[in-house]
Structure 1
């Protein structure tokens, strides 16, 4: 394993191969979410990962903008793969940040693997009022916890993580992880929705999602169109949001099947 520091962020590089994978986690996880995936893929690929700002235990309280996260990703990609584009492997908020990076810097992305979050910008048009209230309920709870901070904010965050059945170690979950929700709802002109671009990837994409959850983070129209694109693929699993944790064997089988196909 090689460890780099890019813009003050510790980046782990593990494995060998001609292609580089950049793996991004979401809430309330860290780079450890990808431990089993790196174990499976490091014989074929260079696997690059880091923990999002504010998510590592003991890290400072931050609230970066989408442009700042995109800039961090660009600096990391330029450092680990200066001559070749990378493949993004994304989950949850990692999908949001990775997709936006791909829309801003398409020449630096060869392929995308998105897990359980797709065309999030369409949710307001595809979800029912009840489902929209569910989304607003848990997101505003976490945004409020971030605003409150301290021990109470930590307890609120861990309570929601238990309610959502997040597999992360509760001892490692903190209120500092909630900044994307606060940035989404109370970021003003720099809120994540206002800075986001529609997901229209120019490269092949594998989209994996779990079917056993109260709402989907993608539209059926989007997955139907994606499945028809040459080189792209959609796979549904009998799991919840954390597909790689609930069905690691199936998840990694699909990755190993799809990733070796070189993009045109």
Structure 2
């Protein structure tokens, strides 16, 4: 994604002595600039067709393909179609794509094309910059989620949960998952050496994680050594948590431990959140011009 020129112009106006400058007004100004940045980020995001397709529409398209391709197989359990079975994995994959893939490619491009250096020449705070990024990720992920669930229910006939406690469980899984993936996306943005290599570096990583984490394949079908590798990464646990929301309780027996292990899911996602935060602080460089 390319930062629109208006973003640099807005930052320049702050440098010129705008009374709303974070340098003058402190934390409230930082927050105000961050909230304004969310709007700019959203406009830039939806003006990039490749980004919208591969991070926003991709899980919806994949759910449609799996739902239609395996429709002839009928239900795999009473009331559970193949589309219903794949839905939790696609929800988890959507969080991964929106958080990790989108941010990693986005920030790497901005760094490689010099936009971070331009912003570094203004008094705009890194906090405002990341408020804009995180706000954009949260809002686009919520929009993607709403569209994915509507598509599953209205087009594929998936019966969504009706118990309030399941939706409460979904809420904390989603919020913890999107926070974790956002920080990991920021950390991963330090890996590509240039803006041209960003997609080539990031895309295979997220694609491989989807295949070994129970998104496209039943997790227990994988060899034990591959299950052990996948269990190190957060996508496996997020997908498992989402299955506990959208699938009947009887499906817990198909997990490697025979239960949903929600406490372990929360613990490992939180651990990866801390890892992402530490790596982001260590690897992200806010480039200031001398």
Give the TM-score category using the shorter length.
under 0.3
Query: Taking structure 2 as the reference length, what is the TM-score of the superposition?
Result: 0.24
Comparing both structures, which one devotes a greater share of its residues to strand? 1
Comparing both structures, which one devotes a greater share of its residues to helix? 2
Which protein has the larger Cα radius of gyration, Structure 1 or Structure 2? 2
